[in-house]
A and B are shown apart, each in its own frame.
Chain A
Amino acid sequence: MLSGLAKRNSFFAAGQQTNNPLAGDPKAIQEGASQFRIDCALCHGLDAHGGNRGPNLTRGIWAHGGTDADLFRTISVGIPGTLMPANDLSEAETWEIIAYLRSLTPEKPKDTGGEPTIGEKLFFGDANCSLCHMVHGKGGRLGPDLSSIGNRRSPEFLTQKLREPNASLSPTLMDSGKEWPYDAQAVTVVTQDGQRIQGMIRNEDSFTIQLMDLGENLHSYIKSELRSIIHEEKSLMPPYGKDVLDEAQLRDIVAYLDQLRGESARGKD
C-alpha cells in the first residue's frame, strides 16, 4: 500500500510543470471531481458554480490568472488577502483538480456584463446601499463593510442577496465545523422599563448580547436584565426588486461589488 502512495506523490517530483500533464485525462477528471468536492466545494459549490464565498469556476474567468501554472499556484499557495487558502495537496491531486475545472469551463469566457463605475454611483446614490454599508471608509456601519466583498462573495451570491435578502441563499454551504456567522441578524431587545432597541447583532451568547442600533450606537446587555429579546426573522436589508433596480442596474452594482478586492481607502498600495 505504501508503495502506491509513494508512487502517486513522486509522479511529478521531477519539478513543477507549467502545463497540466493530466489535461483531458478522463480518469484524472474523475479523480479531480471527487477531490474538488472534498477540498473546494465548501466555497465554490458542489458543482463549481460558485458558493457563498468562492466564485463560479465554470465561466472561464480567472481573477488571478488562467494558465495552468496560474491555477496550480492559486490552488497550492492560495491568494493572500482573500479567503482562498493554501492547500496541502500533492502535485498529482492539484493537476487532477485543474483537469476537472477545465472540463467544466468554456473555450471563451462569457461576458457577465455590468459596468462598475455605474454600479458605484448607484451604490453611493440612488440605491442607498451606502446608508448601511461602508466601502473604503465611506458609508454606514450597520451592515457589513463591503471593501473586500469581491474576495468573499461570488457574483451569483451577491445577485441573489440583493434581490431576495431573506431567501435561502442557494447553493450556500457552511463548514460543518465552523461557528455560525453573525453578520446579518436583526434583533429587538426590550429593556425592563419597556424601551425597545432594534439593531444588528454583533455578538451573542447564552448570557449576554451585543448589538448596534439603527443610530449606529453600540449596546451590550446581560440577558437576565432584559425583559425580552426578539430575534427578527427578516433581514434589515430591503429586497431590491426589479421595480427598484432593473436587470442592467443590478448587473452594474454586482460588477462594482465584484471588483472590490480590499484595497485601502488610499487606493491600491
Chain B
Amino acid sequence: MLSRSILLALLIVLRTSEVAAQTSYDQIVHAAENPDNWATYSGDYSGRRYSELKQIDTNNVSRLAPAWAFQTQTSGKFETTPLVIDGIMYFTGLDDHAYAVDARTGRAIWRYERELPTRIPACCGHVNRGFATLGNKLFMAALDAHVVALDSKTGNVLWDEQAADYKLGYTFTLAPLVVKDKVIVGVSGGEYGIRGFIDAYDAETGKRLWRFNTVPGPHEAGNDSWTSDSWKRGGAPAWLTGTFDPELNLVYWSTGNPSPSDDPSVRRGDNLYTNCVLALDADTGKLRWYFQFTPADVHDWDATEIPMLLDLKVNDKPRKLLAHINRNGFYYLLDRTDGTFMFAKPFGRVTWAKEIQSDGRPLLLPVATADEKGKVVCPGAAGATNWMSPSYSPQTGLLYVVAREQCDLFTAIPQPFHPGHPYLGSVYFKPAEEKPWGALRALDPMTGEMKWEFKYISAPWAGALSTAGGLVFSGDMEGYFIAFNAATGKDLWHFETGFPVYDSPMTYMVGGKQYVVIASGSTLFSFALIN
C-alpha cells in the first residue's frame, strides 16, 4: 500500500501536470488573441470565423492529411463546431450526443448521450451545432427544449433546465453563447407555430435571468404588426448563435420566419420581430434596436444567419459595423451601434425584389406574392445562404459567403393550426427546370462587390473558415473538404470525406501543430500537415 505521504505527493504531481482546461469570460472576450483554442461557436465574439493560425498556408496546404477521425456512430447531418480548450476538444453530435476527445489523437475522454423523447416535432433532423463553455462547464441547448450544463472534465450533468415544451414544437439546435456569467440561447420551431424567444440563464445555477419574446405580446411595441391573435403562433425562432460587442454591451441575435411560413393571409403586417437582427442589452435582454430584413415573409427566409461584427473604416473613420449575409439573397451592412442601414446588394440570384430601398425595406416585384398554384422565386426556401457560417479575413479584407443558387416553386393555401404540428401554409418545391448549384464567393464588405467565386455543381450546406495562412476552407455536397487561396479563390487542396458536408470548419493548435476540422456523415475529421 502506498503511504499517505506518497499518495499526497503523487496527487500533487498529477495536479501540477494536468491541463487547465477551463475558460474565463476574459479569455472568451480575447479569444481571437489565443488562436490555439477555439472558444465559441464562431471562434470569438465577432462571428468572423477567422483564425490567426498560419502554420498551414498556401504554400504547404497540399501536404494536409487526416491526423485522426472520430466516428460517432450516428448518421445524418453532422453540423457541429467543436470547441478546443487547452488541447481537449468538446463537440456535440446528432441526437444530442456529446464527446470530449484528446485534440491531438481523437481518443475519447468521455461521452454524453442525452435520452431524448421518441417523438420530437423538429423540422430538420436531430441536429446540434455545438457547445458553449465557461469555467469548467459546457453548455448544450438540447432538442427537447432543455438547456443543460455538463462538467467539462466528466460529461456529468450539473444542471438541466426546461425552457419550453418540445411537444408544442419548441426545440433547440444551436450552440449557446456565453456572455459574462450568462448562457444565451435561441429557440427553434418556426415550422410549428411557436412564439419565439431568446433566453439567458445563470451559468452557475441554470436559473433563467431574462427572456426576450421575439414576437411581441399585447401592449408591447410591434404587436400591431400582427393580425388579431396570430402573434401567439407567429414563429420568429432564433436558432443560430448570436454575437456580442463587449464595448457596447450588446448581444446581436438574428431571428427567423413568421409562422405559417408560406401563407400571410392569417398574419397581415410586417410581423415583428421575424427575420430581424436584434440588438439586446446583455444584462437585461431589453431591445436596444432592431432591423428587419424581410417583412411579411412568405418564402421561409429565416434571417437567422450569423450577425458578423466588423470594425472597418468608413470615410477614413473607424466604424462599428454589422455584416449580414441574408437568406433572402442580399448582403446587408448596418451600423451596429444603432442599427442604421448602410446598404444592401445581392450576392446571389434575386427575383423577388428590385432592390433594398434607402430605408432598408425591399422594393417587391409581383412574383414575391405567393398563391395557391405557386410561383417560382429565387432564391428558394433554403435561401441564397442558410445556417452555414460566413467568414471574414482581416488579412485579405474579404467576406467569404456560401451561396446557394436554387429557386423554388412557392405555393400558399390556408392551413388550420394544431399545436405541435407543422404549420406552414402549404409547401415549396424545387422545379425541375434547373439543377441547383452554388458557389463560395468572396465579397468586398464595403461594397458587396464580388471579388472571386468558386462554383459548386450542387447547392452547398458547408460554412467557411478563413485563416492567417491565407486560406479559406469549406466543403461541398459531393463530400469534398476544400482549401482555397483566400486572395484568389484558387482551389489548392481537397479531400473526399465520403458524405455531403453539412458543417462549418474550425481550427486549433496543440503541441505546436495546427489542425483543421470538418464533420461529415458520422465522422469528425481533424487534418494536419504531414512531412
A residues engaging B (CB < 8 A)? 1-2, 4-5, 8, 30-31, 33-34, 37-38, 41-42, 46, 52, 88, 93, 168-170, 172-177, 179-180, 204-207
**A204–B478 alpha-carbon span in the complex (Å):** 8
**Closest B residue by C-beta to A35:** B415
Kindly list chain B residues whose C-beta atoms are within 8 Å of the C-beta of A34.
413-416, 425-426
* B349: Cβ under 8 A from any A Cβ: no
Asked if A38 contacts B424 (CB within 8 A), the reply is yes
Kindly list chain A residues whose C-beta atoms are within 8 Å of the C-beta of B420.
5
Asked if A179 contacts B414 (CB within 8 A), the reply is no
**Closest B residue by C-beta to A40:** B427
**A41–B415 alpha-carbon span in the complex (Å):** 15
Asked if B426 contacts A205 (CB within 8 A), the reply is no
* B93: Cβ under 8 A from any A Cβ: no
**Closest A residue by C-beta to B418:** A8
Contacting residue for B480 out of A4, A30, A206, CB 8 A: A206
Query: What are some 24 contacts across the A-B interface (CB < 8 A)?
Result: A5-B167, A33-B413, A34-B414, A37-B413, A38-B415, A41-B427, A46-B374, A88-B119, A168-B433, A169-B432, A170-B432, A172-B432, A173-B431, A173-B432, A174-B429, A175-B429, A176-B380, A176-B382, A176-B429, A179-B500, A206-B456, A206-B480, A206-B482, A206-B494
Kindly list chain A residues whose C-beta atoms are within 8 Å of the C-beta of B458.
179-180
* B390: Cβ under 8 A from any A Cβ: no
Asked if A205 contacts B411 (CB within 8 A), the reply is no
Interface pairs A-B: 9 shortest CB-CB? A205-B478, A173-B429, A172-B432, A34-B415, A1-B419, A174-B430, A5-B419, A180-B435, A5-B420
Given A179-B477, A180-B436, A205-B457, is A5 in contact with B426 using a C-beta cutoff of 8 Å? no
Q: How far is the CB of A219 from chain B (nearest CB, A)?
A: 18
Given A37-B411, A174-B431, is A206 in contact with B426 using a C-beta cutoff of 8 Å? no
**Interface contacts beyond A173-B430, A206-B455: sample of 13 additional A-B pairs, CB < 8 Å, sorted by A:** A2-B167, A34-B425, A37-B411, A168-B431, A173-B409, A174-B430, A176-B408, A179-B477, A180-B436, A180-B458, A205-B478, A206-B476, A207-B494
Q: How far is the CB of A188 from chain B (nearest CB, A)?
A: 17
**A176–B430 alpha-carbon span in the complex (Å):** 5
Contacting residue for B381 out of A4, A52, A176, A204, CB 8 A: A176
Q: How far is the CB of B192 from chain A (nearest CB, A)?
A: 11
**Closest B residue by C-beta to A185:** B435
Asked if A37 contacts B427 (CB within 8 A), the reply is yes
Kindly list chain A residues whose C-beta atoms are within 8 Å of the C-beta of B411.
37, 46
**A174–B376 alpha-carbon span in the complex (Å):** 13
Kindly list chain A residues whose C-beta atoms are within 8 Å of the C-beta of B415.
34, 38
* B196: Cβ under 8 A from any A Cβ: no
Given A34-B415, A38-B422, A88-B119, is A206 in contact with B431 using a C-beta cutoff of 8 Å? no
* B69: Cβ under 8 A from any A Cβ: no
Kindly list chain B residues whose C-beta atoms are within 8 Å of the C-beta of A5.
167-168, 418-421
Kindly list chain A residues whose C-beta atoms are within 8 Å of the C-beta of B476.
205-206
**A169–B424 alpha-carbon span in the complex (Å):** 26
Kindly list chain A residues whose C-beta atoms are within 8 Å of the C-beta of B165.
2
Asked if A42 contacts B424 (CB within 8 A), the reply is no
Q: How far is the CB of A108 from chain B (nearest CB, A)?
A: 29
Asked if B382 contacts A177 (CB within 8 A), the reply is yes
Asked if A37 contacts B426 (CB within 8 A), the reply is yes
Kindly list chain B residues whose C-beta atoms are within 8 Å of the C-beta of A207.
480, 494
Asked if B418 contacts A52 (CB within 8 A), the reply is no
* B50: Cβ under 8 A from any A Cβ: no
Segment 470-492 of B: residues with Cβ below 8 Å from A: 476-480, 482, 491
Kindly list chain B residues whose C-beta atoms are within 8 Å of the C-beta of A93.
421
Kindly list chain B residues whose C-beta atoms are within 8 Å of the C-beta of A170.
432
**A176–B459 alpha-carbon span in the complex (Å):** 10
Asked if B433 contacts A31 (CB within 8 A), the reply is no
Q: How far is the CB of A35 from chain B (nearest CB, A)?
A: 8
**Closest B residue by C-beta to A90:** B421
* B171: Cβ under 8 A from any A Cβ: no
